[in-house]
Amino acid sequence: MTLVLHATPQEVMGAVEALQALGQALRIPEKQIFGLALALEECASNIVNHAYQRDARQTFRVTFESTANRVSLELRDHGPAFDPTQAPVIEKQGDDDRLPGGWGIQLVRRYVDEVRYARERNENVLRLVKHFEPATGQK
C-alpha cells in the first residue's frame, strides 16, 4: 500500500493510523506495531518539519509492505539529501540534560530491526524493517 502525503502533521498521523490498521489486520502484536508506528511518526515528521519546512504543498510517499514475519516501510521525499543512518549513536546517561536533537533516530533504531538510506534520482529513500513473530492471539 502506498500513501501520498502532504507535508502536514495531520497527514503524518493519518499514515500512522493506516499502519496501525494494517498491523491489526495482520494480527501483529500490539507492542511491535506500536514501535513501528512510533518510528514512522518520527521519520515522517522529520520530512514535514525539516525537509519541507511544513510546506503543505509538498508531498512525500510512504509505502507499507508485509510478509508473514516482516513489515517494511519506505519513505520517499524530494528534500535535501540527508542520511539519518549516519547520525552517531547517543547513549543516555542518568539525568541527561543536553539540548534536544538527535534523539529521533535513536528512537527509530530502538524500535526497528533495519534502517537503510539511499539517495535515488533526487529522492531520499528511507527503509525501515521490523521482523516479528506471527501473532498467537495474545497481546
> What integer pLDDT is reported at residue 130 of this predicted model?
92
* Long-range contacts of the stretch 29-34 (C-beta < 8 A, 24+): 29/132, 29/133, 29/135, 29/138, 29/139, 30/139, 31/139, 32/130, 32/132, 33/71
Q: What is the mean pLDDT of residues 17-21?
A: 96
pTM, full prediction: 0.83
* Domain ranges (residues) in the chain: 2-131
Higher pLDDT, 51 or 137: 51
- The top-level CATH class assigned to 2-131 is alpha beta
Quick check: 102 pLDDT over 70? no
Q: In 3-state terms, what secondary structure has residue 70? A: strand
